[in-house]
Amino acid sequence: MKRILLFSGILLLAVNAGAQNYPNRPVKVIVPWPPGQATDIAARFVAQKLQESLGQPFVVDNRPGAGGSLGTGIAAQSPADGYTLLAASSGPISIMPSLQKVPYEPQRDFALIGLITRNPYALVVNPSFPANNAKEFIALLKANPDKYTFASSGTGATAHLLAEYFNTMAGVKARHIPYKGTAPGMTDVMNGQVDYMIETVAATVGHVRNGRLKALGVSTQKPAAAMPDVPTLEKAAGLPGFDAAAWIGYAAPAGTPRDVVDRIAGEMQKMLHGDLRETLTTAGLDPADVPPGGLGAFMKREQERYATVIKNANIHIDQ
């Protein structure tokens, strides 16, 4: 019995020492997107702060390709030692596994360390659209099934799925017009050739401010930092529980020591309640408020939500 207690004590001391000594060499942060993309920007902000607080370089390694699944797959196959992390995001983690074959299974292959941002989307229409608020908008679409059209940045994109999610919850039917990117679809909404779009606040706020688009609501349960006067769709459209956003966070390969994951998570929580919050908001990114203890459930819920949307809307993409 004494030997067992002694061994347990030695093991506990070793675990604590491991956490205190981490990191003792540079840490690589794989970003599965090109430089300048939102995930890259958020990941670099956090990497710089972690470097300052933990005393070792956190080096960003951009591995773009295949809609983020290439770099995500590389991270999944990396050693689970805390020295390779992933700048995770909703596209590769929550959506793509339900759309096409990818070389990883998110809930099996990753531990989500912490969220950095949850970026809201806005329901926008041409200023001349004959609805002054979200409830009038829904009533008009309900009275005219399949008459109205909505744009997205492409079939299977987050904007497309959020629009389908909204349509389902609101009980409306409209025709999807996919584009190759956000800008051309938004241009056609501004020109009145397409009726509406649900796109990021960051992409739409400038056009709303200059009067080229009208915002009827935002997708999160809290108003967007950049659109504080635009109501939430949950309240404005009368959709209880409507809360959706594109998320960005840090993840580690499954099996990474718990004490290492907890140490990084703790540092991220400190910075998100400090000056990083203002830095993110200035960059057009809304800081996340999901506590570390709820991250596993959050990742499962997000993946299941999009899987349901994809199945119900019968969405397919070319592989």
Are 145 and 294 in a shared domain? no
Are 204 and 279 in a shared domain? no
Are 130 and 114 in a shared domain? no
Are 270 and 215 in a shared domain? no
- Which is it for the CA torsion 16, 271, 70, 120, positive or negative? positive
**CA pair distance 249, 268, nearest whole angstrom:** 10
Q: What residues make up the domain containing 161?
A: 121-236
Are 150 and 179 in a shared domain? yes
60-162-155 Cα angle (round to 5): 80
Are 168 and 225 in a shared domain? yes
Phi then psi for 288, rounded to 5 degrees? -80, 155
For the cut 50, the answer to whether the pLDDT of residue 14 exceeds it is no
Are 125 and 219 in a shared domain? yes
> What confidence tier does 11 reach under pLDDT thresholds 50, 70, 90?
very low
Q: What is the mean pLDDT of residues 257-282?
A: 94
Provide the Cα torsion 2, 7, 12, 16; round to 10°.
Answer: 130
Q: What is the mean pLDDT of residues 266-277?
A: 93
For the cut 90, the answer to whether the pLDDT of residue 97 exceeds it is yes
**CA pair distance 31, 133, nearest whole angstrom:** 39
> What confidence tier does 20 reach under pLDDT thresholds 50, 70, 90?
confident
Domain end marker among 207, 236, 265: 236
> What confidence tier does 26 reach under pLDDT thresholds 50, 70, 90?
very high
> What confidence tier does 116 reach under pLDDT thresholds 50, 70, 90?
very high
Output the domain CATH number for residue 282.
Answer: 3.40.190.150
Within-domain flag for 227: yes
Are 135 and 231 in a shared domain? yes
pLDDT score of 319: 55
Are 232 and 125 in a shared domain? yes
Are 104 and 38 in a shared domain? yes
Residue 23, preceding peptide bond in cis (omega within 30° of 0): yes
Output the domain CATH number for residue 209.
Answer: 3.40.190.10
For the cut 70, the answer to whether the pLDDT of residue 88 exceeds it is yes
DSSP letter at 222 equals S
Within-domain flag for 11: no
**CA pair distance 189, 182, nearest whole angstrom:** 11
Length of the chain: 319
Predicted TM-score (pTM) of the model is 0.87
* Cβ atoms of 225 and 286 closer than 8 Å: yes
Domain end marker among 236, 266, 301: 236
> What confidence tier does 60 reach under pLDDT thresholds 50, 70, 90?
very high
> What confidence tier does 317 reach under pLDDT thresholds 50, 70, 90?
confident
Within-domain flag for 90: yes
**CA pair distance 50, 237, nearest whole angstrom:** 40
Three-state DSSP at 157 gives: coil
> What confidence tier does 293 reach under pLDDT thresholds 50, 70, 90?
confident
- Count of domains forming the chain: 2
Within-domain flag for 70: yes
For the cut 80, the answer to whether the pLDDT of residue 7 exceeds it is no
> What confidence tier does 284 reach under pLDDT thresholds 50, 70, 90?
confident
Are 162 and 209 in a shared domain? yes
Within-domain flag for 40: yes
